[in-house]
Structure 1
């Protein structure tokens, strides 16, 4: 064989090898990523060709697929409309999916390897293909109570089971109706989505876990108190300076309380009393005395700055670094650059309620196949142990005082011990305060911990406080869980 023919043969052989390699890469190595591309119309249509599993709260489907006569064959519907939108998310042909619909997509659509034998059985028996169902941890009564109590005010509510971390309620406002985005009328879907994006109130934003987080205000004083008690240098009865105004070191600026006058006789106040009446000057002084490393360390132990998935990704809460004394004073009362999500502040209360052990929050209890066999379930898992049992007991006593004789008497439930902490976070001129409340009940045997954020003063406006606006919302959620 002469040289030109040999070279031609080698080129042809190389071309066949390249073809085989590229085919192998596409069909085996890249197959899953190509199928998962948002714009893959063939894959999208295939996902609509079989019944998608339901998302359940208790025994009620809050997301379910219904058969249609159009090209999509199955329509995703949300019977309760907007009530569970921030939990389920939406499943849209045009805009993909969010929430549980996205996080559990391969189980809901039946493509998960965990359903392999189920799919094989369906092929052999000729049964219609069906995805798995997802059972949520949500308590329907708590979810309804949270949505009703929050109403049209901008904000969020999160409730947890302190012993397990199960999320009992997660509501944000304003929200949206996922049916508008799941429709098979693609023109209407596009116009609805565009309107939601343009809405300055950001109804697609899950304020409970994401977005531009808010200063937690005086709810952060729980972390200061925890750091103080854990240091061994303070007790509930330790005296702190509590003047009417605190001069910030190295400046001519003063940090005031929310009322004129001292926090106690002679400008002195105990750690417990300072929390009860939410004395700013006492906790600003305490933060500076503890030092930024101690305060930041305690915030980190509670979850600030740490990644979290419920399974949706949670924006980490923030305690700023490298603070000078005035900045530390402001940060110690939940101002300056401190930012927190309602989920994070619910976790703080839940930790105290659970004797110092912080549980990892989660939204999905179990996943079942078409035969109702459990193929996946969530076991409670410890997130961290930021404080001791004795510190948790002291904080519980202090928080009970907030509700019985302090800033949160509006959260009191007759016959039930409630432990809580209010917060009123200032934003400067031009905007009303964001108001907070975090609590748990019953304080002597906790079954629910909750955090409420109402933005821009809610319906009360300039006169808003955490006790006036946020605490009554939390009360209704706790009552729903407890059964009052």
Structure 2
């Protein structure tokens, strides 16, 4: 064989080998990733010809497949679109989000636990149906959260999360602004693409689930973490006298940049006040000094014990990790004491702080999927509550509860007070750090204080039309938290 022919033969052989390697790589190593890729339109379009399982809240569907009169057999429909969109997400040729994505294998019928069902359907010549997913959401709590947040105005941006403290069940999850997932589940693919582009480009970010994907400075609600660290140190309890003052100059600083005040709350003016008074009136000067006395390492470990810097939600994503900075110096540590500097939290995270205190110091891992069933209602899996961390001792949790109850009864959290039921709560108003931008309003609470059934976090990012002086966690978030707690308890 002459050299040119040998060269061409070797080149052709290498091409065949490359093709075989590529085909093997795609069909074996990459097959699962490609099959589950939300942008794989062929797979999703094929799924339109199968009856996808329902997503249920209290036995009623919030996502269901109905027979279609077009080229596909089934149309995904959302009966309560705006209220549940951040939770259910949507299912379409374009992509999948929310529970539709996290539970796709079950809903589509491809889950390994449905193998026997698929085998029986194959033998009988039947089309396989997807499984059902039951959520932990309490519809009354969800209604109260949605209605309360919506009442602040048509352009409000914020979120509400409610948890069952003893289990970690998510009882309510609302994010505004919201959207209609029916428009993204349409079989009119050009319309779906146009709608998605409009929503994705909207500066209000309606596709963002602010309950788990937005991290903001938690402001004074973080004082619960600072108080926890202080009490855990053994140097203070709910009856202690703590440092205060009308102003406090952070260590190693001079002038206004390091000067902490209490925004006119005269109750904080004495050099020492009771811990109850400090919490009731949210004294910045107190919690800055407590944080510095606890120290950067102590504050860091206490924040992480409540779930900061961690991922803990498996049923819905993506989850943004709440952040507490490591290695802060003294002035930075002082600022973290009242939820500023580089402290960032999601509403879910702050609900977990309240729930951990309510649950005697144990933070439960939050979950949204309660039960998974086959199409013929056989239970495939039921979520068992699990402990995420031991944040504080039961004694410390009891002391914190006393402080939070006093804050509702005598202090800034009074808008959450309920007749005949003792409520524990804490307000927060966090500076945005952007000149001219109003602060963020926060509120966390749980009730009943002596037998907690629900813990709530309310975050209000923006309320167009309201003056900065009107943005306050108690005034805006307190009534919403109260309504959610009442919906669960009564």
* TM-score class normalised by the smaller sequence: over 0.9
Do the aligned residues in 1 keep the contact of 2:441 with 2:461 (CA within 8 Å)? Answer: yes
Instruction: Return the alpha-carbon distance in structure 1 between the equivalents of residues 432 and 21 of structure 2.
Output: 60
Spell out the pairing of 1:124-163 with structure 2 (5 A cutoff): 124-151=123-150, 152=154, 153-163=156-166
Once the two structures are TM-superposed, the CA of residue 47 in structure 1 deviates from its matched residue by 1.1
Spell out the pairing of 1:231-250 with structure 2 (5 A cutoff): 231-249=233-251, 250=253
Alignment counterpart, residue 208 of structure 2, candidates 187, 205, 210: 205
Deviations 1:356-409 (A, max 9, x none): 111000000011001111112210000000100111111111100011111011
Whether 1:389 and 2:394 are equivalent positions in the alignment is: yes
Aligned to 1:194: 197
Deviations 1:134-170 (A, max 9, x none): 0000000100110000003210000000000000000
Aligned to 2:179: 176
Once the two structures are TM-superposed, the CA of residue 26 in structure 1 deviates from its matched residue by 4.4
Once the two structures are TM-superposed, the CA of residue 469 in structure 1 deviates from its matched residue by 0.7
Aligned to 1:298: 302
Once the two structures are TM-superposed, the CA of residue 283 in structure 1 deviates from its matched residue by 0.9
Once the two structures are TM-superposed, the CA of residue 30 in structure 1 deviates from its matched residue by 3.3
Q: What is the TM-score with the length of structure 2 in the denominator? A: 0.92
Once the two structures are TM-superposed, the CA of residue 285 in structure 1 deviates from its matched residue by 1.0
Instruction: Return the alpha-carbon distance in structure 1 between the equivalents of residues 249 and 16 of structure 2.
Output: 80
Instruction: Return the alpha-carbon distance in structure 2 between the equivalents of residues 215 and 9 of structure 1.
Output: 66
Whether 1:456 and 2:462 are equivalent positions in the alignment is: yes
Do the aligned residues in 1 keep the contact of 2:216 with 2:345 (CA within 8 Å)? Answer: yes
Spell out the pairing of 1:28-177 with structure 2 (5 A cutoff): 28-94=28-94, 96-151=95-150, 152=154, 153-177=156-180
Once the two structures are TM-superposed, the CA of residue 325 in structure 1 deviates from its matched residue by 2.1
Structure 2 segments unaligned to the other structure (5+ residues): none
Once the two structures are TM-superposed, the CA of residue 475 in structure 1 deviates from its matched residue by 0.4
Deviations 1:263-282 (A, max 9, x none): 15x42112222111111111
Do the aligned residues in 1 keep the contact of 2:117 with 2:128 (CA within 8 Å)? Answer: no
Once the two structures are TM-superposed, the CA of residue 457 in structure 1 deviates from its matched residue by 5.2
SS of residue paired to 2:242: strand
Instruction: Return the alpha-carbon distance in structure 1 between the equivalents of residues 65 and 114 of structure 2.
Output: 19
SS of residue paired to 1:86: helix
Aligned to 2:227: 225
Gap change, CA 1:28 and 1:350, over 3 Å in 2: same
Instruction: Return the alpha-carbon distance in structure 2 between the equivalents of residues 126 and 394 of structure 1.
Output: 64
Once the two structures are TM-superposed, the CA of residue 37 in structure 1 deviates from its matched residue by 3.8
Once the two structures are TM-superposed, the CA of residue 23 in structure 1 deviates from its matched residue by 5.3
**What CA RMSD, in Å, does the superposition of the two structures yield over aligned residues?**
2.4
Spell out the pairing of 1:288-437 with structure 2 (5 A cutoff): 288-311=292-315, 312-428=317-433, 429-437=435-443
Structure 1 segments unaligned to the other structure (5+ residues): none
Whether 1:476 and 2:483 are equivalent positions in the alignment is: yes
Q: What is the TM-score with the length of structure 1 in the denominator? A: 0.93
Deviations 1:434-469 (A, max 9, x none): 111000001111110000001135664312211111
Do the aligned residues in 1 keep the contact of 2:54 with 2:61 (CA within 8 Å)? Answer: yes
Instruction: Return the alpha-carbon distance in structure 1 between the equivalents of residues 246 and 181 of structure 2.
Output: 50
Aligned length: 480
Gap change, CA 1:427 and 1:29, over 3 Å in 2: closer
Once the two structures are TM-superposed, the CA of residue 189 in structure 1 deviates from its matched residue by 1.3
Aligned to 2:474: 467
SS of residue paired to 1:97: coil
Once the two structures are TM-superposed, the CA of residue 351 in structure 1 deviates from its matched residue by 0.4
Instruction: Return the alpha-carbon distance in structure 1 between the equivalents of residues 432 and 416 of structure 2.
Output: 25
Aligned to 1:287: 291
Instruction: Return the alpha-carbon distance in structure 1 between the equivalents of residues 481 and 74 of structure 2.
Output: 39
SS of residue paired to 1:49: coil
